[in-house]
Each structure stands twice: as C-alpha cells, then as structure tokens.
A and B are shown apart, each in its own frame.
Chain A
Amino acid sequence: MNLLESLLTGLDEARRHWGQTVLSLLGLVLGTGSIVTVLALFGGQTAITEQFLSEVGGRGTIIVYDRESSARPRARELASKRLTFRDAQYLRDRATTLTAVSPGWSEELPYRAGDVSFDGEVVGTVPDYMVINDITPMIGRYLSDLDVRHQARVAVLGWKYADSLFGRAGDALGQIVSLGGKSYTVVGVLEREEFYFAAWEDNALEYRNERAYIPISTAIAQHSATDRLDFLTLKARPSAGGAAAQAQVKSLLYARHGVEDFDIRMSGQGAGDDSGQFLLLFNFIFLVVGIVSLVTGGIVIANILLASVVERVREFGTRMALGATAGAIFAQVLAEVLVVTIMGGLLGLGLGAALTGVVAHFMQMPAVVSPFIATVSLTTALTVGLVAGLFPALRASRLAPVEALRYA
C-alpha cells in the first residue's frame, strides 16, 4: 500500500465514523472559534486606538507633567526649580528629536458671562499647542504669537463652554468672558470633538470641549504667583520616533532638575483604558476558553478517535495481520487526524466569524476576521492536530501484531 492509499484509507475512516469524528471535532471547533474571536476583537481594539491617536494629533506626541512634590521632599528636590518656561526653551534648543515644544499651564478657575457661571479648566499655552494636538477653530482663530508676546487678554473657548456661556457656541465670538475674575475677549471657538471607544463609553474627547485656552504669558501674569508650568506638550520628529524622543527629553530634563520631578507619557497612552480593560477581560476569557478547548480538543482527538480505543487497536492488529506495514498504519492514523483537524479548524473559523459578528454588533465595535487571523487560527488548529495525532500514530504503528490483536 503506498502513501496515497494509506492517506485515502485515513480519509475514508474519518468519513465513515462520522458521528465520532464530529464529536471529537467539538473541542477543536470551540478552540479555534474562540481564538478567531479574540484575535478579531483585539484587532478591532487596536484599530480603534490607532484612530483615536490620529484624532488627537497622531503618534509621537509626548507630554511632560509636573509631578506632585513628595510629602517630605529632599534637598535635591527642593533645589529643583521644577517645570518652568525655561525648560521649554531649553528643550527647543537642545532636543534634536523634537519638532515642536509647547509649554502649558492649567488651573481650575471660575467662568462667568452674564448670569451664567461655573468652575472649569483654563489652559495657558502657545500657538504650537494647536498644531501638536490637531485642534481646529470652528469660528474665529486660535492663539497667536502676538497674543503670547503681549500677554493679551484673549481666550479661545472649547465648544461646550462657548455653548453653555453664550447660549449658542457660534454667538461667543467677540464676547467678553470672565475667567478667574479677569475679563477676556473670545477670539475663537473650537470645533466640537467626539470619539467613542465603544457604544457604552462616554465621549473620550469631551475634556477638549470643556476648556478655555489663553496665552501662557497671560496665564502666568494674571493667575499664577510663580513661573511654574504644569506640563509641556512635545512633538517627536517622525524620523526619530517617540521612544527615542522620550528618552532624550527625560535625560535632558533630569540633567537640569537634578531630580526626577516630572512624568513623561506618550499621548494616547492609556487612551480608552476603561473600554480597553473591559475588552482585556473579555479577550482573556475567550483566550482561556480557546486554549482550554484546543488542548481538550487535542486530547480528545488523540484519545477517542485513535489508539486508546480497544476496538481501533484491534483493528490495527487485523490490518497488520493482513499485511499492513507500520508505515501504512502511521500514515492512516495521521491522515485521519489531519482531516479531522482541518475540518475542525474550518468549522471553528466559521464559528469564530459568527461569534465576532455577534459581539461586534452588540458592542458596536469594529472587529473583522482578516485573512491573517484565519491563517493564524487554522495553523494553530493544524499544529494541535499534528501534535495530538503524532503520538497515537506512532504508538499504533509500533505495536506488534499480536499485541494489537490481543489489546484489551
């Protein structure tokens, strides 16, 4: 009997005990299905994070925060001037990996216009900030270099605050708003920004609608006793890459401060963390189910279908008595396993695609089973099958005919 015929015998056997075959497929189908779903959801999540990043100014935006001072600061920490306007200038001069540096100041201040008043965030910054963060005015303009140089009392309002203060966002232009008791002329209103990581999530960009931007020079002169900054927004040179820029900024600032009294973060890091956490749990469950199912599936295949079933071993014994060589038995068993695995993998792929569709529909998130995912999951299923099948195939083919015939 040649290899082809042994393989055909294996195929035939898989076809003939169909019920058993389908049963032994179950684990494999579930396993493959779960893995497909995990990969698809994970892919969707990655895609949506990528989309969010491009929405907030793209990759390569780095933010340096002033760190809360420790409860009992040491001498070194006390000696540091902390994050200042000068750091911004210093980075602009020295950090070769950066294309833009924007100092920032931020404070919770009372807003008032007419009889509307509330507390909200006021951000002092420079024109570069708009470029780095991809901010677009809906009407009017953003802050200018001139505003910064002359400590102008001008403000650019986020969409929501403009709307709350003046009834309609579009009506805010040219009006006077009081921020922290000082009057500012509204020179621009920003576009409304929205981004949802998942259907059940809040607008991830709402904080941008609830803000006013004023020149950093004005902010420090009018509302601050010191020249300390709250953050620096930096843009990495694309050729340098975010990680390299982050490292350079860290070492430069450390050299100046003599202590690490700042935190550095990539923009979008932690973006969508809440929905991400939920998804992570979700993916984790699916992944565990997937792996457990695959392993179980493999064991089931190795067991039920093959050499530990008495009836099957005796059958191999009979085949040997009729003249089957060890190689023929091996090929038959392996062929059976492969057929079963390929079918299980394909069914699992179908199940995974269906499951992905259902999950994506109910959670309103993007998730697709790409050719890559299909390839990965089928390869996984096939590997499990091969590993599971190799052992029983070897065992069956190594039996002496009498042993196999007497097997009980």
Chain B
Amino acid sequence: MLIEARGLAKTYRLGQVDVQALRGVDVDVGAGEYIAITGPSGSGKSTLMHILGCLDTPSTGSYRLDGEDVGSLSGKRLAHVRNRKVGFVFQTFNLMPRLTVEENVALPLKYRGGVPRGERRARALALLERLGLGDRIGHRPDELSGGERQRVAIARALVGTPAILMADEPTGNLDSRAGAEVLATFAELHAAGHTIVLVTHDPGVAGRAQRVIQMSDGRVV
C-alpha cells in the first residue's frame, strides 16, 4: 500500500468550541490507483487531503506514506517528504506570479537541492511538452488561461517524480471545457501508471475515478 492511514482524527479548537473536522478515518491507497474523495461541504475532504499530503498533521491516528511513518517526522523531514513523495495540486493553482512557467515547474527541484540547473530545466521542459504547454515556457502565469495554469501546476506537481499526485478540487476554479482538459490530463497520467487522489464535490468528476471515497461529517461512509 502506498497510503495506509488508520483512525485519522483532526480537532480544531475555535475559542471554547472544538470542531471535529475528522472523526476517525481509515484510508488505503494502492500504487496506480485513481481515487476521488467526495462529500458535502464541510465534511472534512480538504482536512483529510492536507494530512495525506503532509501539509498538516492529524490530532490522533497513524499515517504511513510509501512505507514511512509520517507521524513521527520532524518539520525538516516532512518538507523532504512533501518534496519527494507528494505532488500537490491546488484549486487556485498557486503558481508564483513573478516566475515564468518553466521556473514555476522547476521550483520543487530547486528545493530538492543537488539537481543541476540544466537537468531541472530539461525535466521541466519535458513535462510541459508532454502536457501540451511546450510553447508557453517563457510566459508568466497571468498570461495563461485557467486550464493552462492548472496544467502548469500539474507539471510542477509531477516534476519531482512523486509517489502520489494529490489534487484538492483541481477543477473547482475552471469552466467545464478547461475542467475537461484537466481531467483528461489526469486520465492520461493514470493510464501512464501514476497514482492519483483528488477531492471533488462534482459527481461528474468523481465518476472518472476508479474508486470513490464518500465522506460525511468527518467520516468515510
């Protein structure tokens, strides 16, 4: 199993009130799977995704990612795991507005260290070609359409050859045509052997996945 999560719970403290965003969630993801997490707003999809992507830590529960017990790692080691094991795609793309498309895509390799500039470039260019953005490498994000931006973000998530690609509402800010393009990209990546977990509340999007995890009120149902 690539992902083995047991009894994940997350409690936020808001003043006097405890908000239980997750109430004990078990998740298993095997290599090469394409999984959609769905559920109503506030059901804890993003919270779960952030924990699985090592952007957040659970209040209780255990989490093994690619054989490594992530719960016991230091901040620095976690950054390392994020850099090597996880490729994260955001609803709002989160590209660096002042960097070119190519620089954006190469950024994770910069944080990895030890990858020579020429190789960083080459890997970024290869991915951009593959995602049909070969003619956009010198552009800034604000010169691209929403669909193009999200594909740049996917390229950035993939450049470090992560074990798993995670996306929180990747089509949430796109019109249907651009959304379809992005979903087609995910389908291609899945076909090429990538492991994908995405969050959506759109049944149409969820329907493209191999398996759907349905969430409600902090639990898997």
Query: A residues touching B (Cβ–Cβ < 8 Å)?
Result: 1-2, 5, 9, 13, 16-17, 314-315, 317-328, 400-402, 405
**Chain B contact patch, size range:** 20 to 34
**Subset of 30 A-B contacts with CB under 8 Å:** A1-B112, A1-B113, A2-B113, A5-B110, A16-B98, A314-B94, A315-B94, A315-B96, A317-B94, A318-B94, A318-B96, A320-B55, A320-B82, A321-B53, A322-B82, A322-B88, A323-B79, A323-B82, A324-B79, A325-B76, A326-B76, A327-B76, A400-B55, A400-B56, A401-B50, A401-B55, A401-B56, A401-B82, A405-B55, A405-B90
- Chain B residues within CB distance 8 Å of chain A: 50, 53, 55-56, 75-76, 79-80, 82-84, 88, 90, 94, 96, 98-99, 107-108, 110-113, 156, 160
A323 to B112 CA separation, bound complex (whole angstroms): 7
B55 touching A323 by the CB < 8 A rule? no
Q: Which B residues touch A323, using CB under 8 A? A: 79-80, 82-84, 108, 111-112, 160
- Chain A residues with CB under 8 Å of B76's CB are 325-327
Shortest 3 CB-CB contacts between residues of A and residues of B:
A323-B83, A16-B98, A323-B111
Q: What residue of chain A has the Cβ atom nearest to residue B56's Cβ? A: A402
Give the distance in Å from the alpha carbon of A324 to the alpha carbon of B79 in the complex: 6
Indicate if the CB atoms of B108 and A322 lie closer than 8 Å.
yes
Chain B proximity of A397: nearest CB distance (Å): 10
Given the known interface contacts A318-B90, A402-B50, the answer about A325 and B79 at a Cβ–Cβ threshold of 8 Å is yes
A29–chain B nearest beta-carbon distance, Å: 23
A145 to chain B, nearest CB (A): 86
Q: A322 with B56: in contact, given A13-B98, A17-B98, A314-B94 (CB under 8 Å)?
A: no
With both chains docked as a complex, state the minimum distance between the C-beta of A268 and any C-beta of chain B, in angstroms: 60
| CB neighbours of B96 from chain A (8 A) | 315, 318
Residues of B contacting A315 in the complex (Cβ-Cβ under 8 angstroms): 94, 96
- Given the complex of chains A and B, what is the CA–CA distance between A5 and B94 in angstroms? 21
B55 to A402, Cβ gap below 8 A? yes
Min distance, Cβ B38 to any Cβ of chain A, angstroms: 21
CA A401 to CA B112, docked complex, whole Å: 17
- Alpha-carbon distance between A323 and B107 when the two chains are bound, in angstroms: 9
Chain A residues positioned under 8 Å from B84 (CB to CB): 323
Which of A5, A314, A321 has the largest count of B CB atoms less than 10 A from its CB?
A321
| Nearest A-chain residue to B47, judged by Cβ | A402
Q: Is the CB of B56 within 8 A of A1?
A: no
Nearest chain B residue, comparing its CB with the CB of A400: B56
New contact pairs (4) apart from A1-B112, A324-B111, CB-CB < 8 Å: A1-B110, A16-B99, A326-B75, A400-B55
Q: In the complex, what residue of chain A is closest to B51 when comparing beta carbons?
A: A402
* Closest beta carbon of chain A to B15's beta carbon, Å: 17
- Which of B55, B88, B98, B111 contacts A328 (CB under 8 A)? B111
For A319, the chain B residues whose CB sits under 8 A away are 107, 111
**A158 CB, nearest partner CB in chain B, Å:** 74
In the bound complex, CA of A13 to CA of B98 (Å): 8
Q: How far is the CA of A322 from the CA of B166 in the complex (A)?
A: 12
* CB-CB nearest in chain B for A13: B98
How long is the Cα–Cα vector from A318 to B98 in the complex, in angstroms? Answer: 14
A187 to B140, CA, bound (A): 91
A315 to B50: give the CA distance in the assembly, Å: 16
Which residue in chain B gives the minimum CB-CB distance to A323?
B83
A320 CA / B79 CA spacing, docked (Å): 7
Residues of chain A within 8 A of B160, CB atoms compared? 323
Give the complex CA separation of A5 and B113 in angstroms. Answer: 9
With a CB–CB cut-off of 8 A, which chain B residues contact A9? Answer: 110
* Chain A residues whose CB sits within 8 angstroms of the CB of B113 once the complex forms: 1-2, 5
The answer on a CB contact under 8 Å between A322 and B111 is yes
Which residues of chain A come closer than 8 Å to B90, judged between CB atoms?
318, 321, 405
CB distance from A306 to the nearest CB of B (A): 15
| Cα distance A5–B56 in the bound complex, in angstroms | 26
Please state if A322 and B156 are interface contacts (CB–CB under 8 Å).
yes
Residue of B nearest to A15 (CB): B98
Please report the C-alpha to C-alpha distance between residue A328 and residue B112 in the assembled complex, in whole angstroms: 11
Distance of A401 Cα from B107 Cα, bound (Å) = 16
The minimal Cβ–Cβ distance linking A317 to chain B, given in whole angstroms, is: 8
